A and B are shown apart, each in its own frame.
Chain A
């Protein structure tokens, strides 16, 4: 079932006696943590109005930094480090 129009992941758990249980999943828009959707579980999750997507609800994800921005920052740091290792001449 889509969450806010976005497709969700899908988890299948095959139990001890071969029974299966299924769950939709979504990932936190700030840290990619995968959350199983359990209606009525009572767990408190978060929602980012800038990303317009749910978060995992952990404190560090309350501030909006989309995970793709974190990945791009990590890649930029890596490229900068590589450039510095090569030196200024090249």
Chain B
């Protein structure tokens, strides 16, 4: 496993829908240079005046990143090292192509391509760390990778998902 470690955060506003969630962050393999991604840490929570409500937060496999605001990943291990080859995007306006169908279905139906699904109070935060060898792995196939979204039936507050990965 190569050793360059990176981090990116993504933000999004909940859109008061359980069937058409908007994604906050995607991390995908470079469009021309194929490389694997090992995702080893995820943080998430609601950041926009959170109320006592619960959202489902979802991390899934994707095959295309959709359209989003580009985020420059931070090299967390060695700033003198090369820049990330992975492509990170925040605040999606066109959803990533999830392996599991969530557009029109929502985040609450288990399906192939799911990686993590957590119901979380808006006033809470969640952090998951993988041990060495226990990371999520994305194949070295261009534009494959990971993305995260959250939903709520009525809230329209902002939420955040952060990912750390090795590539």
Contacts and interface: CB of A to CB of B under 8 A. Distances in A.
A7 B134 contact: yes
B131 A8 contact: yes
B17 interface: no
Contact of A60 (B36, B112, B128, B131): B112
A34 B112 contact: no
B132 A7 contact: yes
B133 interface: yes
A24 to B, nearest CB: 10
A78 B134 contact: no
Contact of B121 (A16, A74, A75, A77): A16
A37 interface: no
Contacts of A68: 137
Interface residues of A, number: 28
| Chain A residues touching B, majority SS | mixed
Interface in B76-114: 110, 112, 114
Size category of the binding interface on chain B: 20 to 34
A9 B118 CA distance: 15
A34 B132 contact: no
Contacts of A62: none
A78 B34 CA distance: 10
B141 A78 contact: yes
A13 B114 contact: no
B116 A67 contact: no
A7 B133 CA distance: 8
A48 interface: no
Nearest to A10: B129
A32 B115 contact: yes
B123 to A, nearest CB: 4
Contacts of A14: 124-126
Contacts of B120: 13
B45 to A, nearest CB: 8
Interface of A: 6-16, 25-27, 31-34, 58, 60, 67-68, 71-72, 74-75, 77-78
Interface of B: 34, 36, 52, 59, 110, 112, 114-116, 118, 120-121, 123-134, 136-142, 144
6 contacts: A6-B133, A10-B131, A11-B126, A16-B121, A31-B112, A32-B137
